[in-house]
Structure 1
């Protein structure tokens, strides 16, 4: 799969201009030889296709969890000039602001002895899960507009968390620029009953133990220690975000002729950043991103209540380390050839990883860089990392977002038996709860690239630094 691709570093590869017609810049990706066995030719072609888009700056980029997606490859990153460049839903994905948050507790693994199964059951009962899951939380159409504008703050102001939580979210839990008027009635209808629900696919609520601290200085700054019990929330904007993407892809595809944009793949449908169609998509995307932050905030609140009720620990003693987005387009300032400039950065299955001293990260983390959260795949470790100066220089302050699939969900169901997997994980001390066993087959650890190798690549390439490794103890899946 590496034919026609140039190796330019130990872990860095370049897709030269000319790999596909009309490339404006080279493609670059980060990968070890071990991971190269899972590299799909289609994903490399998608990376090259992104390099044909108007106004792309420097490179089309991909992280070591690269795999084939819709439009952009998953793991793709690209920045676009604000005047000449475009914005593309294919560079964000259908699950807008799918993301992760990590919360510490004052408990140790010994505190969970004999109580883990009960804890998992309480989690499962407290947080609605699955494709059609509906929340017990009821919001009106007007309240939904408030959610889409104010994000996690909407939830905190209604008692679903504390003010301190907001400081520890990317964008403080709400991006500016939301335009509820650009969100269709159908998207609203899908979002109204789903606030505070986990959804399906690779989303989860997981109990974890900090198994290893690799960077003690950063761990102290983040407030995490070996042996500590934590929990992680991984989910996104549910049906609302999916519908926003669907609606605006149709609009942007029909606008291609208007702006004389020629594409190698219509899944890259786009419009100039500062066009009516581009602005409308951005405003609707921000609404979905803010909905996702509110969604994770409500889920975290419910999980905190479960821990508090079972173990008698104070709500405020369960501290949010950080919340990061994986699928989003944002206006950011970056250094380009020695000058600061604003660009529209698309991260599609990639995580922001701003380095020490960068704007937009909590003051208490400024010396070590932004926390970066990389979820595992049910039976494998998750990682807490930190952003780096190298990422700011090479990847628009971006790193990987997870392990990256190697098997489709349909193939996984043919090759893995959910019940056998659940029993196998239980034998390893990992309790799993899901609506049905077929869900587990789709998300088995073996259908993903090894997360430890993906994380090793970004660590050794300098795109983010490993702070701690967390092992799963119990998982609820949708």
Structure 2
């Protein structure tokens, strides 16, 4: 049963909050409090918290928020962030060899290397992964849980895939900054203008994921392929005349979604079938259970850098940023099995396959020369 805190009376509307998680799930009270704060905004109708719900900067992460008013801050700066899955064929997937062949995804492409138009003409950071929880991962299909659906996607046990998690980089940040400098956390005075910029950032994020998949595939000696999944989880959707804001929540209305675990656990590709109570959304990942500061402090007390470069499932982590290694340690996140189990229990999704990481790219390893010259 969904956890349904008391409704909040908004302006002319009765706004409700639903957290779709079991009592066994790790849901911080601060995250639920943020859901109530959002529900109290003018025009809000419903806030749905996913089982990966956790506190964010001013608004919860892992939530779908339906309103008659458009609030850019509810989507945040990484507009268009999402996860795409690309099939890839390699003859001998030896993690140690492949990790050394990953390209430097911190160094942007030249616009001339891109076929077609670039949304918003934004060329900065083109084809790069970014920081935080963004990653590019070579993974193997492990368990096939719904053979029929997996076959329709062209997936079988043992197949390899590239999983790419990134967004619009500086473009989304620029869009939000322009709004907040003029209007703070208030609504968009011209929703159509915001949505036009927002849609360009969503398209840019999708293009960026494709460009990175192409770069990695070519570097590993494989042929680039089209994605079988590409779902955004930071966006606004206009639905029945209302604005459905998603912050860390993937579109779940009849779509296939990769619910990301951690670099040391499985991820789940699910068939999503969420309804209005869940904001037509599903979880986008395991969700943090530690702040970055806590993960850094606890991780340094328990692990060495080298321990974090080799995960419990035997995969390798390519990360030249030692602090990021600790901040993104698997122990900083909730159990992906619990998150997906909650989605299933609430009738929001059906697991199709699990993936297990072989190589997870976060940032490039830097040589002494790179560090002296300040290269990123």
Q: Normalising by the residue count of structure 2, what TM-score does the alignment of the two structures yield?
A: 0.88
2:246 to 338, 347, 356: 347
**Offset, 1:476:** 0.8
Kindly report the root-mean-square deviation, in angstroms, between the aligned alpha carbons of the 2 structures: 2.5
Q: Which residue in the other structure is 2:288 paired with?
A: 405
Tell me whether 1:147 sits opposite 2:46 in the alignment.
no
Equivalent residues of 1:127, 1:198 under 8 A apart: no
**Offset, 1:424:** 4.6
Structure 1 pair 20–377 and aligned structure 2 pair: CA distance change class (3 A)? farther
**Offset, 1:234:** 0.7
Deviations 1:73-114 (A, max 9, x none): 10111223xxxx211122212211111111123447xx22xx
Deviations 1:30-60 (A, max 9, x none): 112221xx32222112111222233333x21
Q: Which residue in the other structure is 1:200 paired with?
A: 131
Q: Which residue in the other structure is 1:90 paired with?
A: 73
Q: Which residue in the other structure is 2:236 paired with?
A: 329
| Higher fraction of helix | 1
Gaps of 5+ in 1: 1-8, 149-179, 181-187, 254-266, 333-340, 356-369
Larger radius of gyration: 1
Q: Which residue in the other structure is 2:332 paired with?
A: 447
- For residues 439 and 50 of structure 1, what CA distance do their matches in structure 2 show? 30
Tell me whether 1:228 sits opposite 2:138 in the alignment.
no
Tell me whether 1:104 sits opposite 2:87 in the alignment.
yes
1:283 to 192, 196, 208: 196
Equivalent residues of 1:144, 1:192 under 8 A apart: no
Equivalent runs, 1:365-376 vs 2, <5 Å: 370-376=255-261
Structure 1 pair 121–297 and aligned structure 2 pair: CA distance change class (3 A)? same
SS in structure 1 of the partner of residue 118 of structure 2: helix
SS in structure 1 of the partner of residue 124 of structure 2: coil
Q: Which residue in the other structure is 1:78 paired with?
A: 65
SS in structure 2 of the partner of residue 219 of structure 1: helix
- For residues 79 and 145 of structure 1, what CA distance do their matches in structure 2 show? 35
Equivalent residues of 1:24, 1:51 under 8 A apart: no
- For residues 144 and 305 of structure 1, what CA distance do their matches in structure 2 show? 16
- For residues 14 and 295 of structure 1, what CA distance do their matches in structure 2 show? 38
Q: Which residue in the other structure is 2:354 paired with?
A: 469
Equivalent residues of 1:76, 1:350 under 8 A apart: yes
Q: Which residue in the other structure is 2:264 paired with?
A: 379
- For residues 385 and 100 of structure 1, what CA distance do their matches in structure 2 show? 13
1:118 to 91, 94, 97: 97
Gaps of 5+ in 2: 364-376
SS in structure 2 of the partner of residue 33 of structure 1: coil
- For residues 233 and 313 of structure 2, what CA distance do their matches in structure 1 show? 29
- For residues 276 and 123 of structure 2, what CA distance do their matches in structure 1 show? 41
SS in structure 2 of the partner of residue 304 of structure 1: helix
